[in-house]
Amino acid sequence: MRGGFLHNEVLVRRLRQVAQECGAVVHLEAPVRIDGVVNYIDLAIEKGGQVTVCEPEQSWRRVDNDVRKAVAFGAQRLLIVTPDSHTAQACRRQLRRHAPSGARLQVIACPLGAALEILRQALNSIPNAPVAPVPPGQVKET
């Protein structure tokens, strides 16, 4: 994955860990085509038919591109995760200037701690896929 230690080992790793703990499927570097060019989403998280795109950012400069990727991917939620509150605030200012139009996309920009809790709550509110019942007379092996 592209990015340095903070991006990969701190932000991405923690987001991935929480998503997996909540029973979601996580795709790293998920490809998405925009205007004929392939772009990559850092984390695409799927659970119960709901898709959350997580884009860790250390600056506000890529926020517009993050929105375009999430819309093109068909996500319901975009979580822009930053290492600190100042960067999150700059990202929110940029989002206000260039709000997504016509997309049914919830966009949240916040520091890692808040993002982990938001992600956990969102994923835990989605039921897991139902487990097939064991027919009578058959023993479920574990």
The CATH number linked to 79 is 3.40.1350.10
**Domain total in the chain:** 1
Residue 132 maps to a domain: no
Model pLDDT for residues 52-83, shown as the tens digit of each residue: 999 999 899 999 999 999 999 999 999 999 99
The overall average pLDDT reported for the chain is 83
The encoded tokens of residue 47 equal: 């659970």
Residue 133 maps to a domain: no
Q: What is the largest CA-CA distance in the chain?
A: 63
Beta-sheet strands, E only, within 35-129 = 37-47, 50-56, 77-82, 106-111
Whether this prediction's pTM lies above 0.85 is answered by: no
Model pLDDT for residues 89-103, shown as the tens digit of each residue: 999 999 988 766 666
The domain of 86 spans 5-124
